[in-house]
Every structure is written in C-alpha cells, then in structure tokens.
Structure 1
Amino acid sequence: MTHPYRPIHSPILQPELHRPWYRCREYTPSRRLESHVASFWTMDFQPVPEHQWHRIIPDGCVDIVVDLLSPSSRKAAYVVGLATQSEVLHFSEARSIFGIRIYSESARDILKFPLSAFMKHHVFLEEVWGLEGLYWVEEILTAKTTSDIIEIVEHKLCQMLNDSGMPTPSLVYQSMQYMYLYKGNLSVTNLADKVNFSERHIRRTFDREFGLSPKEMLGIVRFQSILQEFYRGDYSSLTDLALKYGYYDQSHFANTFTRYYGLPLKRLTKKG
C-alpha cells in the first residue's frame, strides 16, 4: 500500500549544491515496504579544498544510518531519532553512508523500542538488535553494490515486520494517518475530536512513544507538505502558500520555516 506522505530533503530542493565529490541519492523501497519505509538514501563525499556541508531537516521519520567506511562494524550503524530543527553537517573526511528512512508510526515495529528512546542521542544498532544487528551490519559492509545493500536491507526489514511483537499503539497510528490526510494543517483539538481521545491523553501518548508533542509532529508534517508544493511549483506566491497552510501571520510562517529548514524560503525561490 502506497504511503500518503513522502518527505523531501535539501539535496532535492537545492540541486545546485551537487558536486562531483558530493552525491546524494534516494531509492524507493519495494511494494512490500513502501507503507513502512519512506526511502533508502545514500550520501557520498570525497575531500576537496572547497567547503562542503550537508543539511538535515525534520521529516517526521527515524533513520538507521550505516557508515560504509567504518573500520568497525560495531560502530558502523546507529539509529537517529526524530529531528525537530535543522542541522548542518560539515565534512572534511571521505564519507559513504547508506540510510533507511522509516515512518514514525512503523518504527516501533522495526526497532522494537518507542522512538522516545532515540531522541537525545544516536544509539548504535547493536544496542537495539544485539548480535543479530551486528551480523546484519557486517553483511551490509561486505556488499559490493548499492543494489546488493538494498536487497539485504529489505530482506531484514520484512523479517522484522513479520516477527514484530511490539506494534505501534493504535492511537498513534490513527493520529498519524489524520496528520498525513490533512497535511499537518490541523489543530491538536481537531485531532482529538477525530480520534475520540482527550488532548491530554494524546499528548501523553505522543510524549511516551515519540518523545515530542502532537503539535510538534503536526508542525513537521505541515512543513514537509509545504516543501512538496514548493518543489512541484503548485503555488502562485509564498503568501498564498502560507495562507493555504494556515499561516495568517507572515512573520510566524517565516520563523517556522527558518527553524525547520535553516534558511528563509525566499532563498530557495524566485517567486515572491
């Protein structure tokens, strides 16, 4: 089943930053996984005198990141929790990374822990899956091509989903589906009405499962929905785009976008 939400990231929005020594690609998962995994992605960087950076933006997903150049399989793979603001990474050494971008409502099924366990720091995959995770990482590190890695990863993820004994609470899953349906343009009060739970109960559930509030998650989904329309060019002006998503105060819209992306939206477009 195709997922209704597909996050977008800065390498796609700012293709002018691509260089022969800095390459980012995304790969669509198989139909078996497309309702759980947003994408597989790679980032390769070769050292050059020119300054290079990589921008990370919030997307409502959790990532398993594998450092393909790591000398140690124990330190090669780790889980990155939900981001709530932009971050810029600066590179000076060669990098080759493979990533798995997992939808938040499916993460517990795969990782066996709530996302709140990964909010404050990166967690090595061995600490999550034990020796099983370590063997899996070793298999990835010895793969010859990206296609081989994807095949190894998909086999493992399907196995984890089939064996899952810790499904995501139905309230979280249902809430996320409404957030996707309304593209984040929904208040917590409206969300509570739709799922027939109190706002307090929803807040407590989101804090326990995700480590952030439903208001924050709504903001991230709305931000990503704005990026999708911006990327497609489906807007006449930034003012109209802001109004469509409930931003009636232009300064609020500008501040929110800058917090999530790290740059003003006008830096990415010629439309006013």
Structure 2
Amino acid sequence: MSERLEYKPLNRWRYPRKELQPYVDRYWEWSGQSLSDEALPRILPGTGKELFFHYGEPFTYELDAGAKSFLSPSHLVCLRSKVATFFPMETSGFISIRFKTGMFRSFCKISPFEIKDTLASGVDLFGKSASELGERIVEAGSFDERVALLEDFLIAHLVCESNEERLIPFAADSLYYGHSVLNSKLVSESVGLGIRQFQRRFKREVGVTPKQYMCLARFQQTVRACLLGDHANMLDCALAHGYYDQAHFIHDFKNYTGYSPSDLLGSETRMTHFYNTSRPRLC
C-alpha cells in the first residue's frame, strides 16, 4: 500500500486576542509529512482572504490546473474566480491568519484588483517585515509562540479607520451573512449612500460588484454546508442557502470551478480549516 499524506493535528486553531477580534476570525495551523505527490484539497473561489506563513517547506501549487509553481514562504490567498490546488512537500507546515470580511485592508492598503485571484507574496504586501516574521515563525518552538508572533505583527501594521472608511466593510459583512434576504439597495440605504455611489465604491474597495459578492457568499456558504454535513444532502444545502434547486447550484459550481460538485466535494476536503464556519463581525 502506498503511503498517503498524514494530516496532524486538525484542531490547532485559536481566536485572536480582544483588540484584534474585529479584524481576525482565527489563526489555524496545519502540519504533516508526505512521501507522495498527492494533492491537498482544492481551495475554491470565495469571499475571504487568508495570510499563510510556512515553517515547513512551502507547497507547490496550480491555479486552474495551470503550470505548477512554487509558493512563497508567506503568501495571501484571495480567490474570486479561480481554483487553487496545493501539493505538499516531504515535510510541510504552516500557520494562517483568516481575516474577517473586508478587514485585510486595515493592515494592508493594496488595491483588491492587484491581489484578486492571486497567491501574492507576503514580502510584496508587507515588505521586509513579512520576511523577518517568517524567519521567526520558522524558529518558533510551538503554536503558542507562532500565534504571539502573528499578533505582534498585526498590531504593528494595524491602521484604525474612520467611520466613513468602515462603511464598505460593514456593507460587505451585511451582504455576506444576509445575501438571501438583502440587496444592494437596502444595504446602500443602511450605510447612507446612493445606490450608484455604493456600487462604484463597493467594487473599488472589494474588487467585485455587490451582486457578484452575494453570489460568491451563497456559493461559499453552500460548499461549506455540504462539506461540514450541516444538511442531509446537496439539495438541502443548496435550498437552505438561496439556490432555487440542485441544478442551479450545480450550474454555479461548474461556472466557478470548471468541475461538477461530485468531482471536488469528497470527504477528504473536510479536513481543511478553509471551510470551518467563520464568526460574524463583533460590533
């Protein structure tokens, strides 16, 4: 029998300290050993951003089944219309920061169009400080030490925004959790902006239109429910998250990924923290 990838452990995660809770959902860590070239679960399009720091050998990866490339020791995952496949090295390990909706911009002011559908290097985003943090994470001896290093890094880069600057992140959060009952007009009114102004500003700050964002949220939440077993079957998941029927979800799935749900929603995909439920923003 050929050796397969070992996942261990799967429960190494932590919520952030109080001052970072409005911005960060959680930190999570994965490590394992592999003597095969077996791929990790694919990462599908969604609304989130995750910042990885590898303390083992960085993965190789493919975007939409393109050429295999090497990941940087630190990188951001920001997929809106592409599928990423990661391939582990012989000894792999990373710790990741999952940002809350619209909150990465509080630490890095790069345009969302520059990072959309990319795995941008941490050094390109944060400069020398990301490289220095990566070296310290490699040297750290425990999960607790790595989390402490991440939090010091985040506090150092945090830029508090005015109430005006928080309007679009608030709107994105509302659309994410209320995509089945809200629309652009209702949310634009709630933040005091005209509909056209809201749509232009949302796309400029988030990188997609409000409608595209709501569709991504519906897709992401349905995939999560399918993987975590929140409902009895795919049809129940699709209906519970705003799809008209199973065919509607399958059409969306193929549109976003190029695959059918049965191709990608295997039981092994449940092992990734990408699809664990996020917490709503703390107001």
TM-score range for the pair, normalised by the shorter chain length: 0.7 to 0.9
- Match of 2:215? 219
What's the Cα RMSD here? 3.3
SS at the partner of 2:41?
strand
Task: Note if 1:42 corresponds to 2:39.
Answer: no
- Match of 2:62? none
SS at the partner of 2:103?
helix
Task: Note if 1:89 corresponds to 2:90.
Answer: no
1: CA distance, partners of 2:221 / 2:105: 24
- Alignment deviations for residues 19-69 of structure 1 (CA, whole Å, 9 cap, x no partner): 662345551223422331122222334232473433212342212111213
Give the percent of matched residue pairs that are identical in Structure 1 and Structure 2.
Answer: 22
Task: Note if 1:137 corresponds to 2:122.
Answer: no
Aligned pairs for 1:196-215 within 5 A: 196-215=192-211
2: CA distance, partners of 1:81 / 1:200: 26
2: CA distance, partners of 1:91 / 1:136: 22
SS at the partner of 1:253?
helix
2: CA distance, partners of 1:38 / 1:260: 25
For residue 6 of structure 2, the aligned residue among 21, 24, 39 is 21
2: CA distance, partners of 1:207 / 1:172: 10
Q: Kindly tell me: are residues 237 and 125 of structure 1, through their superposed partners in 2, closer, same or farther at Cα, counting changes over 3 Å?
A: closer
- Match of 2:281? none
TM-score, normalised relative to structure 1: 0.73
Q: Kindly tell me: are residues 220 and 144 of structure 1, through their superposed partners in 2, closer, same or farther at Cα, counting changes over 3 Å?
A: same
TM-score, normalised relative to structure 2: 0.71
* Regions of 4+ moved over 6 Å: 165-168
SS at the partner of 2:220?
helix
Give the unaligned 5+ runs of structure 2.
59-71, 268-283
1: CA distance, partners of 2:137 / 2:163: 26
- Match of 1:179? 175
1: CA distance, partners of 2:163 / 2:127: 20
Q: How many residues align?
A: 247
